Amino acid sequence: MAFQVMFQPNNNAIRRERIFRDRTHPLDVYDDFELIRRYRMPREAILNIVDILTDDLEPKTMGSHSVPASLQVLTALIYYARGSFQQVVGDFSRTSRALAAKVADFIKFPLSPWEQLAVKQGFSSEFNMPNTVGCIDGTLIAIKRPTEREDAYVCRKMFHALNVQGVCDNKKQTDKSCCQMACMYS
């Protein structure tokens, strides 16, 4: 009797139907104008970023519920473009870490005297700015309240932020970037 109870299939169990989300891909749905409006990047730039980050972001399992690298990148890009937690929901930490790991491949400050001379000549001829190797600017990026060292991330405008600075050359290419806690340079 106990054997029958333990190993007999339970026909009275309620079978729950699986729900699969729509996997419509934004790159297939939106035209170029809409991609630039939503993500502030053209299709070619988005595809280039996806190609660069695919190895770092592609799911290790081939499960049906894993999020492909392209959607992870698009999710992060829409957040970066809008800068709002209310409009976009999700965790972008993996995508942001993957991007940060690749930054040295694309952002390089002119170190050799020949590179510096070329940039100086470019600034002098194009913008009438002699002896200039780069132009710097910065912004405060609002973030969620961190759980550790919260006070270190409060900026002078009294919200939690990262102070992001960038340097570009005469061709408007980013040479160097710096991301610090808000209070470091506020």
At which of 105, 134, 167 does a domain end? 105
Which pLDDT value is given to residue 186?
39
Instruction: Tell me the residue type at 67.
Output: V
d(CA 65, CA 35): 25
Same domain, 78 and 123: no
Distance from C-alpha of 111 to C-alpha of 150, rounded to nearest angstrom? 36
Q: Which of 84, 105, 126 marks a domain boundary?
A: 105
Q: Is residue 2 part of a domain?
A: no
Residue 11 confidence (pLDDT) above 90: no
Percentage of the chain surpassing pLDDT 70?
74
Look up the domain containing 91 and give its range. 26-105
Main-chain phi, psi angles of 29, to 5 degrees: -95, -45
- Tell me: do 118 and 130 sit in the same domain: yes
Residues 120 and 77 in one domain: no
Q: Does any domain span residue 137? A: yes
For residues 79 and 111, membership in a common domain is answered with: no
Q: Verify that 99 and 69 share a domain, yes or no.
A: yes
Number of domains in the chain: 2
Element (H, E) at 177: strand 174-181
Q: Does position 1 have pLDDT exceeding 60, yes or no?
A: no
The lowest-confidence range among 36-50, 113-127, 162-176 is 162-176
**Res 146 pLDDT > 60:** yes
- Residues above pLDDT 90, as percent of the chain: 19
Residue 60 is given by DSSP the state S
Mean per-residue pLDDT, 143-152: 84
Q: Both 139 and 180 in a single domain? A: yes
pTM of the model: 0.48
Are 68 and 115 part of one and the same domain? no
Q: Do 98 and 115 reside in the same domain of the chain? A: no
